[in-house]
Chains A and B, each alone.
With several copies, the nearest count.
Chain A
Amino acid sequence: MALTREQLAQRVAQELKDGYYVNLGIGIPTLVANYVPEGIEVMLQSENGLLGMGAFPTEEEIDADLINAGKQTVTMSKGASLFDSAESFAMIRGGHVDLTVLGAFEVDVQGNIASYMIPGKLIKGMGGAMDLVAGADNIIVTMTHASKHGVSKLLSQCTLPLTGKGCIKKVLTDLAFIEIKAGKFHLLERAPGVSVEQIIELTEGELVVPDVVPEMSFA
């Protein structure tokens, strides 16, 4: 069974470590905050100028001056700090964020990522995504493995304009957890009930499959 959005978030959350500063992109990545493992503390960085993003506000707490990068109203967690956009991207570009989670349209075996533009269709801009992929060492891309029509999004070469070149090492799809190294995809884990054959079929780029591919586990 392909992972649900919630399961994708849950699996990413297993990669969190105590004391991590984390930037979560819009969409599925945002959900990761709901699955921080017990006994672990992370601080969320929002690139519009907040380190220590808290939960959504109650109706009474809503403050127009306090939003996240998705322009949603948020709160601050204890020990939060506020800063301007130059400082925020100094953190990001300077590699101070421990983990970045973001979505994509396509990734390829060279670690390239396309996530911001579909020529002639979707031209809204890259926002902070190009800075995030260029600045972070540790990035997890979350996406569906293939389109609704069964077209793979894990490619030998991205077809859409790139957001970043050679910067992606880990991809979590609804079917598999994959590492990118030395110009190949490497299958690390498969979604519960998903066969290796299914993954191979829906992966266009070269995929290295070890003898044993463990299923993801959700405690």
Chain B
Amino acid sequence: MAGFDKVVTTYEQAMAGLTDNMTVLAGGFGLCGIPEGLIAQIKKMQTKGLTVVSNNCGVDDFGLGLLLPDRQIKKIIASYVGENAEFERQMMSGELDVELTPQGTLAEKMRAGGAGIPAFFTATGYGTPVAEGKEERQFNGKNYILEEAITGEFAIVKAWKADRYGNLVYRHTARNFNPMAATAGKITVAEVEEIVEPGELDPNEIHTPGIYVNRVIKGNFEKRIEQRTVRQK
């Protein structure tokens, strides 16, 4: 790697520096747009005590769910954690600390973390368990609560295409939380379907500028579908 070339060729390089008790932000919505190979690498590394920030925690045998059996995750900040028996077991037994956060607030917390905004007010969660312990304030007669930003030592994201400089383009709803996670990691690693040369992506159409991205690796994705729903032709 020299200059702006951020491409690495092994998953060891991609996740180098990840150690116990770090905070990892992960892109993805359900199993859509998740950095499959980077998650597998974390499992392989057996890093423990992680705080994971992700909208969901995968399913029992895929996605972030893979980090549960070996108790690699100490705490998860997520909006929805259904469809995962081992997760439920660890949560109910108190082995896993779960901080449920509304989906939009979670997205905004990561964006704020990347954008140097330490905290913002939102109406979401006012008067609910989410508001407990948080400052409440009225603006123009409406009630809001103060939510703080989230950042992490690592962010792991999945993109469709990257150029060598780390400029990223996402595809369809596989974009989801990936752009915000990418901005809020001290080290951001992008696993992508295709790597192209700088200049091949239209500058107008880049979703995540390379300034946010530290490492890029080409992955092979299973892209498992959770709810295969079809109509008759």
Q: Tell me if chain B binds chain A.
A: yes
The interface on chain A, measured as residues whose beta carbon lies within 8 A of the other chain's beta carbons, has a size of 71
Contact of A135 among B116, B198, B229 (CB under 8 A): B116
Evaluate contact between B173 and A131: CB separation under 8 angstroms: no
**Contact for B167 among A72, A81, A117, A125, CB less than 8 A:** A81
* B3, A73: Cβ atoms closer than 8 Å: no
Whether A130 sits at the interface, judged by CB under 8 Å, is yes
- Give every chain A residue within 8 A of B108 (Cβ-Cβ): 86, 89, 93
Is B207 interfacial (CB 8 A cutoff)?
yes
| Interface 0/1 of A132-168, CB less than 8 Å to B | 0011000000000000000000000000011111100
> Which stretch of A39-47, A99-107, A193-201, A203-211 is in the interface?
A39-47
Quick one: which of A65, A72, A92, A131 contacts B174, CB cutoff 8 A?
A: A65
With A48-B176, A85-B176, A90-B114 already in contact, the answer to whether A18 and B233 are too (CB < 8 A) is no
Given A65-B33, A90-B111, verify A79-B4 contact (CB < 8 Å).
Answer: yes
The answer to whether A84 and B180 have CB atoms under 8 Å apart is yes
Residue among A58, A82, A97, A164 making CB contact with B128, cutoff 8 Å: A164
B62 within 8 A of A: no
The interface-forming segment of A49-57, A169-177, A181-189 is A49-57
Partner of A65, one of B210, B211, B223, B228: B223
Docked-complex contact A70 and B103, CB < 8 angstroms:
no
Is the CB–CB distance between A127 and B3 below 8 Å?
A: no
Chain A residue numbers with a CB within 8 Å of B16 are none
A65 touches B2 (CB 8 A): no
With most chain B CB atoms within 10 A of its CB, the pick from A52, A81, A129 is A81
User: Which of B7-15, B39-47, B65-73, B75-83 is the contact stretch?
Assistant: B75-83
Q: How far is the CA of A165 from the CA of B130 in the complex (A)?
A: 12
- Give residues 150-176 of B contacting A (CB, 8 Å): 160, 163-165, 167, 170-176
Residues of chain A within 8 A (CB-CB) of B163 are 79
Question: For the complex, what is the distance from the CA of A71 to the CA of B226, rounded to whole Å?
Answer: 6
In the bound assembly, the distance between CA atoms of A41 and B210 in angstroms comes to: 14
Within 8 Å of chain A (Cβ to Cβ): is B104?
yes
How many angstroms from the CA of A163 to the CA of B129 in the assembled complex?
8
Q: How far is the CA of A55 from the CA of B231 in the complex (A)?
A: 8
A64 to B130: give the CA distance in the assembly, Å. 32
Q: Which of A49, A135, A163 contacts B175 (CB 8 A)?
A: A49
Contact with A along B5-41 (1 / 0, CB 8 A): 0000000000000000000000001111100000000
Instruction: Tell me which residues from 186 to 233 in chain B have a Cβ below 8 Å from any Cβ of chain A.
Output: 198-199, 203-204, 206-207, 209-212, 223-233
Q: With A71-B30, A86-B107, A124-B80 in contact, do A48 and B173 touch (Cβ < 8 Å)?
A: yes
Residue from B113, B124, B232 within 8 A of A130 (CB atoms): B124
Q: Does A213 contact B (CB under 8 A)?
A: no
In the bound complex, CA of A81 to CA of B165 (Å): 10
Within 8 Å by CB of B104, from A55, A73, A128, lies A128
Which of A40, A90, A128 contacts B103 (CB under 8 A)?
A: A128
B125 sits at the interface (CB 8 A): yes
A-B contact list, 7 entries, CB within 8 Å: A65-B32, A81-B203, A88-B104, A88-B107, A93-B122, A130-B124, A130-B130
Chain B interface (Cβ < 8 Å from any Cβ of A): 2-4, 29-33, 55, 78-82, 88, 91, 98, 100, 102-108, 110-111, 113-117, 122-130, 143, 160, 163-165, 167, 170-180, 183, 198-199, 203-204, 206-207, 209-212, 223-233
Q: Can you list the 9 inter-chain pairs with the closest CB atoms, starting with the nearest?
A: A165-B127, A89-B104, A79-B198, A93-B116, A131-B104, A90-B115, A41-B3, A124-B82, A64-B223
Known contacts A82-B172, A94-B115; 11 additional CB pairs below 8 A are A18-B3, A41-B3, A58-B231, A67-B226, A81-B209, A82-B173, A82-B206, A84-B175, A128-B103, A131-B124, A161-B128
